[in-house]
Amino acid sequence: MSKEKAIATPNRTREILAKFHFSFKKSLGQNFLIDVNILENIVKYAGIDEHCGVIEIGPGIGALTEQLAKKADRVLAFEIDQRLIPVLKETLKDYPNVTVRNEDILKADIRKILLEYFRKDQPVKVVANLPYYITTPILMKLLMDQLPITDITVMIQKEVALRMSAQPGTKDYGSLSIAVQYFTIPKIVMNVPKTVFMPQPNVDSAVLHLDMRDEPPVEVKNERYFFDLVQACFAQRRKTIMNNLSRHFHTRLSKEGIADILSSAKIEPNRRGESLTMAEFARLANHFYDRIGES
């Protein structure tokens, strides 16, 4: 297919929308890409080739799906909006290697579907233009479920991409940075202006590539406990970890007890959450877990 006939052009997108009398739903965060070059770059950064299986989330009218289908062995797309199913049936009719499921990715048993749809030895990647309002829940589900995928390449709000890839000591660094970096190695590979979407969003986007880690970079005794403690330390960013942890543990530990655990973990109580590395958070969580467990 030539670029002129690609789905991701302003004219073709308008034609498809008019033909199916489609109206955008704000509640679903629908913004369709109308720039083929950007889509081709996403596919390139995702490292898609003829051996790959791809999971796409929110295909819309199939602009990215089409570019993925040209390179990948097979593509499995999850679309929550039932109105788009007949649209996708038509726009992707030339690509027999694409399957569209009208299903909410947050409710899907992705592991089971992966085993059914892709070959056992096939590398599977996730590629998506994610709706801003639900980016974090979707990515955290993919990571926490520890699926057999090699990497994730997503177009998301630039501000969120910066937070996910942030390093300690920066204003963007927080509990989301640690959660994402515990499971993956993130890298922003491309910035995307808001002008290449229809309708145009209020903010710019970025493409974030997440390489799945074989093992987390730190050893924690209880993952859920670790993530809870990290969130507690960032509950009020301007407060010290002593203040935040005092609020978090107020029914279980005295301030003296918290100070004692901080001392044993060799963490100064007047530090703020953004100054701690993941290794320090892991050490702190393990000390708290050893002392009081999940009580």
Domains of the chain: 3-212 (3.40.50.150), 223-292 (1.10.8.100)
* 56 is an annotated ligand-binding site residue: no
Alpha-carbon distance of 146 to 69, in angstroms, equals 25
Cα atoms found within 13 Å of the Cα of residue 79, Cβ hemisphere only: 24
Task: State the alpha helices, DSSP H only, in the chain.
Answer: 10-19, 36-46, 63-71, 85-91, 110-117, 135-144, 158-164, 175-183, 223-233, 241-248, 255-264, 278-292
- Percent of the chain exceeding pLDDT 70 equals 96
* 244 is an annotated ligand-binding site residue: no
What is the layout of strands, in order, in the sheet containing 74-78? Answer: 98-101, 74-78, 53-57, 124-129, 151-157, 205-212, 184-192
* 58 is an annotated ligand-binding site residue: yes
27 has a pLDDT exceeding 70: no
pLDDT confidence tier of residue 1, bands split at 50, 70 and 90: very low
Compute the average pLDDT of residues 6-22. Answer: 91
Q: What is the pLDDT of residue 294?
A: 63
* 33 is an annotated ligand-binding site residue: yes
- 62: phi then psi, degrees, rounded to nearest 5: 100, 15
Is residue 110 within 8 Å of 118, Cβ to Cβ?
no
Alpha-carbon distance of 114 to 124, in angstroms, equals 8
Other C-beta atoms lying within 10 Å of the C-beta of residue 275: 15
Round the average pLDDT of the chain to a whole number and report it.
Answer: 93
Compute the average pLDDT of residues 6-19. Answer: 92
* 62 is an annotated ligand-binding site residue: no
Map residue 225 onto helix, strand or coil.
Answer: helix
